[in-house]
C-alpha cells in the first residue's frame, strides 16, 4: 500500500469549525424548535453589493458571446484587475501591477504560500491565531505535535490581556513570521510604531513577514496602518495578503490577492537567490489555473466609486453590530477587546474553559460563538464573537444575553 504523507498525522484530530458544527448540529437535532443565532464562524450575511452584482451579470453576458468569451486567463490574474488594485491601493508605495497576484482567496494563498520555503525554515505565529498558518506548516513537515496542543518547531508569540495583545519579539530567529492585523481572532490592531518594531526586526534578521490584512477595511481609527507597506522598509521583508471576502461579501464568490515586492528573495541551496515573486508564479502556473473571469470583474467593481460607497455601508453596518456585541457582554461584566477596527469581539472569560462557555451560551441562549481555545493555548479563557450576523439577529442575541447566567 502506498504511504500517506505522514506529516498529516501531526495535525490535531479535528478542525475547529467542524467541531463547532458538530456540536451545533447535535443541539439543533435535539432542540428543533430553538432558533440558533450564529456569531461563530466569520462568514458574512449581507448580500453582494449592487455594483458587484451588475459587474457579474455583465461579465456573464460577455461569456455568452463568441466575441466576449474568455477561457483560460493568466494564472496571476487579468491585467485589468491587477492594474485596478495597484492603482487603488499600492501605487502609493511604489508597487507595479506585476507585483500583484490574484487568487481565489486569502485562505488558498496563505495555505499554499509556505510551500515556497524550505522545509527547514522556522515559523513564528502569534497565539491565538487563525489555524491555517500553523496547520499548513504542519502538513509540510515543519512542525510536530506536542502534548499541550502546540507544535514543536513553531515559535509562538503569546498575545494575551497581559501584553495587551501586542506580540513580543521572539528569542529565537524565525525565517517566516505570520502577522494578521486587524487581528483574527482578537480583533485588536497594531499602531505604526508597534508594527515598525516587527519590520525592523525582520530586516535585521532577514526574516520574511507574511502579513494578512484581510480585515483592513474595518479600520476606522485614524493612524492605524491598513497595509504593512505604510511602514518604511516593509518592501524589503514583507508579503501582504488581501481578500474581498469580508470587505465586499465575497466569501462565496472567492477572490483575494497577494502583494509580493519585486526585490524580495529567498536564498537557494547553491548559494544563489530566487525572487519570491518568481517562485509564487511557478507554483501558481503549475497548480492553479486562474480566478474565474466573472469573479475578477466583480472584484474590479469593488474598487469603483460606487463600489467603495456600497462597501463602506456594508462595513459600517457590521461595525455597528460589533458595537452592540461589545456593549452586551460588557454589560454582563465581562472585559471585551477588539470590535472597534475589526469585525471580531474577543471576550475575556471568568473561567479558563472556553468550550464550557461555548456549550453554556449555546444551551442557555442558543448563541454560537467560537471558543478561544480553538485558536491556540493563549486563547483559552477567551471567546470570539463575530459581527457578521444580521442587525436583527445581533440585537436579539444581545437581548438574550440579559438572561444568560455564567
Instruction: List binders of its own copies among 199-218 (CB under 8 A).
Output: 206-208
Q: Segment 76-95, which members bind its own copies (CB under 8 A)?
A: none
CA distance 243 to 378: 26
Least distance CB 332 / its own copies (angstroms):
28
CA distance 348 to 366: 20
5 Cβ contact list (under 8 Å, min separation 6):
139
The helix-helix angle for 293-302 and 305-331 (nearest 10°) equals 80
The helix-helix angle for 354-365 and 391-401 (nearest 10°) equals 100
Least distance CB 43 / its own copies (angstroms):
4
135 binds its own copies (CB under 8 A): yes
325 binds its own copies (CB under 8 A): no
What DSSP element (H or E) covers 256? strand 256-259
Least distance CB 67 / its own copies (angstroms):
9
Q: Segment 239-258, which members bind its own copies (CB under 8 A)?
A: 249, 251-254
Contact segment (CB under 8 A) with its own copies among 4-12, 224-232, 336-344, 378-386 equals: 4-12
Residue 58: φ, ψ to 5°: -65, -45
User: Which of helix, strand or coil describes residue 44?
Assistant: coil
394 binds its own copies (CB under 8 A): no
Contact segment (CB under 8 A) with its own copies among 23-31, 101-109, 179-187, 302-310 equals: 101-109
Contact segment (CB under 8 A) with its own copies among 193-201, 220-228, 269-277, 353-361 equals: 269-277
117 binds its own copies (CB under 8 A): yes
293 binds its own copies (CB under 8 A): yes
Q: Which of 26, 34, 192, 282 binds its own copies (CB under 8 A)?
A: 282
318 binds its own copies (CB under 8 A): no
Q: Which of 27, 36, 73, 153 binds its own copies (CB under 8 A)?
A: 73
289 binds its own copies (CB under 8 A): yes
| Cα dihedral 79, 80, 84, 87 sign | positive
Q: Which of 184, 186, 213, 291 binds its own copies (CB under 8 A)?
A: 291
5 binds its own copies (CB under 8 A): yes
Q: Segment 342-381, which members bind its own copies (CB under 8 A)?
A: none
CA distance 235 to 93: 9
Strand partners, 208: 176
Instruction: Write the burial class of residue 62 (CB in 10 Å: 0-12 exposed, 13-18 middle, 19+ buried).
Output: middle
Least distance CB 123 / its own copies (angstroms):
10
| Cα dihedral 184, 133, 356, 168 sign | negative
236 binds its own copies (CB under 8 A): no
What DSSP element (H or E) covers 312? helix 305-331
Kindly tell me which of 299 and 401 has the beta carbon lying closer to its own copies: 299
Q: Going by DSSP bridges, is the β-strand pair 208-212/238-243 parallel, antiparallel, or unpaired?
A: parallel
Kindly tell me which of 29 and 66 has the beta carbon lying closer to its own copies: 66
Amino acid at each position: 500500500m502506498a504511504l500517506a504523507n505522514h506529516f498529516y498525522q501531526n495535525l490535531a484530530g479535528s478542525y475547529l469549525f467542524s467541531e463547532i458544527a458538530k456540536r451545533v448540529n447535535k443541539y439543533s437535532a435535539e432542540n428543533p424548535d430553538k432558533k440558533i443565532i450564529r456569531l461563530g464562524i466569520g462568514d458574512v450575511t449581507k448580500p453582494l453589493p449592487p455594483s458587484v452584482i451588475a459587474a457579474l451579470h455583465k461579465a456573464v453576458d460577455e461569456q455568452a458571446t463568441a466575441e466576449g468569451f474568455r477561457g483560460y486567463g493568466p494564472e496571476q490574474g487579468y491585467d485589468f484587475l491587477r492594474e485596478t488594485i495597484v492603482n487603488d491601493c499600492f501605487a502609493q508605495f511604489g508597487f507595479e501591477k506585476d507585483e500583484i497576484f490574484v487568487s481565489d482567496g486569502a485562505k488558498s494563498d496563505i495555505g499554499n504560500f509556505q510551500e515556497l520555503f524550505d522545509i527547514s525554515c522556522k515559523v513564528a505565529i502569534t497565539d491565538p491565531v487563525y489555524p491555517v498558518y500553523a496547520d499548513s506548516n504542519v502538513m509540510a513537515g515543519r512542525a510536530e505535535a506536542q502534548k499541550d496542543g502546540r507544535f514543536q518547531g513553531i515559535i509562538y508569540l503569546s498575545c494575551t490581556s497581559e501584553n495587551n495583545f501586542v506580540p513580543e519579539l521572539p528569542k529565537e530567529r524565525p525565517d517566516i513570521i505570520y502577522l494578521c492585523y486587524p487581528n483574527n481572532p482578537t480583533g485588536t490592531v497594531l499602531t505604526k510604531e508597534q508594527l515598525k518594531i516587527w519590520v525592523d526586526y525582520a530586516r535585521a534578521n532577514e526574516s520574511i513577514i507574511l502579513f494578512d490584512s484581510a480585515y483592513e477595511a474595518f479600520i476606522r481609527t485614524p493612524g492605524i496602518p491598513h497595509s504593512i507597506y505604510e511602514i518604511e522598509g516593509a518592501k524589503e521583508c514583507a508579503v501582504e495578503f488581501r481578500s474581498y471576502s469580508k470587505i465586499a461579501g465575497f466569501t462565496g464568490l472567492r477572490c483575494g490577492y497577494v502583494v509580493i515586492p519585486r526585490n524580495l528573495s529567498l536564498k537557494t541551496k547553491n548559494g544563489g537567490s530566487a525572487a519570491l515573486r518568481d517562485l509564487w508564479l511557478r507554483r501558481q502556473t503549475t497548480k492553479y489555473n486562474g480566478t474565474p473571469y466573472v469573479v475578477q470583474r466583480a472584484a474590479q467593481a469593488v474598487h469603483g466609486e460606487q463600489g467603495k460607497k456600497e462597501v463602506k455601508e456594508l462595513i459600517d453596518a457590521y461595525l455597528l453590530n460589533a458595537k452592540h456585541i461589545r456593549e452586551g457582554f460588557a454589560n454582563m461584566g465581562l472585559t471585551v477587546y477588539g470590535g472597534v477596527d475589526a469585525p471580531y469581539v474577543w471576550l475575556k472569560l471568568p473561567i479558563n474553559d472556553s468550550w464550557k462557555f461555548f456549550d453554556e451560551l449555546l444551551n442557555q441562549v442558543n448563541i454560537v460563538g467560537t471558543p478561544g481555545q480553538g485558536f491556540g493555548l493563549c486563547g483559552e479563557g477567551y471567546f470570539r464573537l463575530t459581527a457578521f450576523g444580521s442587525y436583527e439577529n445581533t440585537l436579539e442575541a444581545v437581548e438574550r444575553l440579559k438572561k444568560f447566567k455564567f
